Amino acid sequence: MEGTIYSLIPAVLMLILVLLTRKVILSLGIGIIVGAFLLTQMDIGGGLALIWSIFANIFVSEGALNMGNIYLLSFLFLLGITTAFMTASGGSRAFGRWAVERIRTRKGATLVPALLGIIIFIDDYFNALAVGQVARPVTDRYKVSRAKLAYYIDSTSAPITVISPISSWGAYIIGTIGSILAANEITQYQAFEAFVLMIPANLYVFAALLLVFLTIYLRLDLGPMKVHEKRAIETGELNNPEKRDVPGDLNDEFKEHNHGKISHLIWPIFALVVGTVLTMVITGMRNTEGSVDLLSIFANTNVNISLFTGGVVSVVVALVLYISQPKPKSGISLVFGQGMKAMLPAIYILVFAWMIGDIIGQLQTGEYLAQQFTQADINLAYLPLIIFLLSGFMALSTGTSWGTFGIMLPIAGEIAAVSDPTLILPALSAVLAGSVFGDHCSPISDTTILSSTGAGSNHIDHVLTQLPYALIAAGAASIGYVILGLSGGVWLPLLMTLIIVTFVAFIIHKFNRQPTE
């Protein structure tokens, strides 16, 4: 089954079930079971043993604790506890009151997550979770649905991180590009220079970012998003009331303190930012051999332990502030318990996503798709477009941008170097763009899961409501890549991509008027 067309079955089945049932854990579970049985030639005992082994490897690998995963899962618990303390202390309510006095429109409230998503470009995980914590009290006050907030977070976090050289993504990509250039004996530019030159050809990223701000300006609610926004405005229900598996939802288990201050929200978030960034710098410096510069620091940093450290510092600060408040107030153990409980839906989904990702990796789904690509007779004019679409489907199926980078960047670089070296940078950019596109559409993508977690949105609601926006941006980018392949330039395709996105947005707005604010 490995490396054949049958390797697509678990991924395709899981995607179909998600769309039909809208139950992401059920769909992931069935995909895991089917994939395990395929790997063991339908041996029930062997399949169950494989499933247990994959689950255990999330926590223990090669006889040692898998600290990267443990740190990330622990961070989610810590984030839930911090959020609970910010809520119980009355900090979130106080910040909401403060924001209402200064942000006077619903449109202004939605600009908060969009702008913060661009400003916080260091890491997509950190972006998704930190932006959600800051923006949620503001958007909640103006009855912005959690699905819309999740869209703003997700469609700014990965896009801005993938074009930022000083980020965890950028550092990884630059290192990969360096090896590709060396392998293909391309010497006219260095890896960092190549990364910068690739930025304008990352058409999907710019299309997605532009669409975020057009959505804010035009109140562009497409498909399922219209239902969520209408319900939020008319009833105040920010999530689908029929779906209770909402990460970060505290369900009114404790009352907010009557004397909360903005500082009860600001200081824990400040501690989270400072603790995370400082740890990223420290771990990056420790892991860097030779000369230390900003790029090498982010190339060698340990993101998961940095998030964990920032989470611990944030919880300590939030706890100290809460203890200092006068009574009556909820018990500390209750706040801890409810904060951890609120993160369980996100943790369940993330663990299942890791498991099916492992299954798909063992089935060599990505390698199969890449092999079909390399064996095809491709017109060079359409090379960037085909690479973009294949990378998108691969990221959608496997749920990992980084895995798609690892498979597709060397393949795209080799094909372009052999056939037309002038296309090597556009081809590599198309891989990055397609990976982010597929990541935005995939229910098993970790960044998609964390975006819904940061927003406090039901996960499958986020996936389905973001899909129309991602498809519009991808459609415009596809036309741009056709123009790029035919013209050889990057600025005209970028301009045409942005024009198409703008034109489509205004056309949809004209025939899809929204209720007045």
pLDDT tens string 179-222: 778 777 777 777 777 888 899 999 999 999 999 999 999 999 99
Q: For the chain, how are helix, strand and coil distributed in percent, rounded to 5?
A: 75, 0, 20
Q: Please give the pLDDT value at position 252.
A: 52
Between 291 and 386, name the one with better pLDDT: 386
Instruction: Write the pLDDT tens digit of every residue in 317-330.
Output: 999 988 888 886 77
Q: Return d(Cα 394, Cα 498) in angstroms, integer.
A: 25
DSSP 8-state symbol, 122? S
Q: Return d(Cα 311, Cα 321) in angstroms, integer.
A: 15
Q: Please give the pLDDT value at position 311.
A: 87
**By mean pLDDT, which of 50-59, 159-168, 246-255 is the weakest?**
246-255
Query: Does residue 517 register a pLDDT over 70?
Result: no
Give yes or no for a contact between 393 and 7, defined as CB atoms under 8 angstroms apart: no
The domain limits of the chain are 5-512
**By mean pLDDT, which of 232-236, 252-256, 279-283, 358-362 is the weakest?**
252-256
Which pLDDT band holds residue 77 (cuts at 50, 70, 90)?
A: confident
Q: Is 40 helix (H, G, I), strand (E, B) or coil?
A: coil
Q: Tokens at residue 418, please? A: 């052999």
Measured CA distances, 34 to 12, 27, 328, 376, 400 (Å):
11, 11, 53, 29, 20
Q: Please give the pLDDT value at position 502.
A: 96
Q: Is 336 helix (H, G, I), strand (E, B) or coil?
A: helix
Q: Report the range out of 115-129, 220-234, 273-287 with the highest average pLDDT.
A: 220-234
Query: Does residue 371 register a pLDDT over 90?
Result: no
Q: Is 64 helix (H, G, I), strand (E, B) or coil?
A: strand
How many other β-carbons are positioned within 10 Å of the β-carbon of residue 79? 29
Query: Does residue 93 register a pLDDT over 80?
Result: no
Q: Tokens at residue 10, please? A: 């678990």
Query: Does residue 50 register a pLDDT over 90?
Result: yes
Between 295 and 386, name the one with better pLDDT: 386
- The mean predicted confidence, pLDDT, of the chain is 83
pLDDT over 90 for what percent of the chain?
25
Beta bridge partners of 64: 61
Q: Tokens at residue 212, please? A: 């975020």
pLDDT over 70 for what percent of the chain?
90
> Number of C-alpha atoms within 13 angstroms, CB side, residue 463?
24
Q: Tokens at residue 505, please? A: 């947005």
Q: Please give the pLDDT value at position 516.
A: 43
Which pLDDT band holds residue 36 (cuts at 50, 70, 90)?
A: very high
Q: Please give the pLDDT value at position 376.
A: 66
Which pLDDT band holds residue 130 (cuts at 50, 70, 90)?
A: confident
Give yes or no for a contact between 450 and 346, defined as CB atoms under 8 angstroms apart: yes
Q: Return d(Cα 316, Cα 310) in angstroms, integer.
A: 10
Q: Return d(Cα 343, Cα 248) in angstroms, integer.
A: 6
Q: Is 326 helix (H, G, I), strand (E, B) or coil?
A: coil
Q: Return d(Cα 483, Cα 154) in angstroms, integer.
A: 27
Query: Does residue 398 register a pLDDT over 60?
Result: yes
Instruction: Write the pLDDT tens digit of every residue in 466-485.
Output: 999 999 999 999 999 999 98
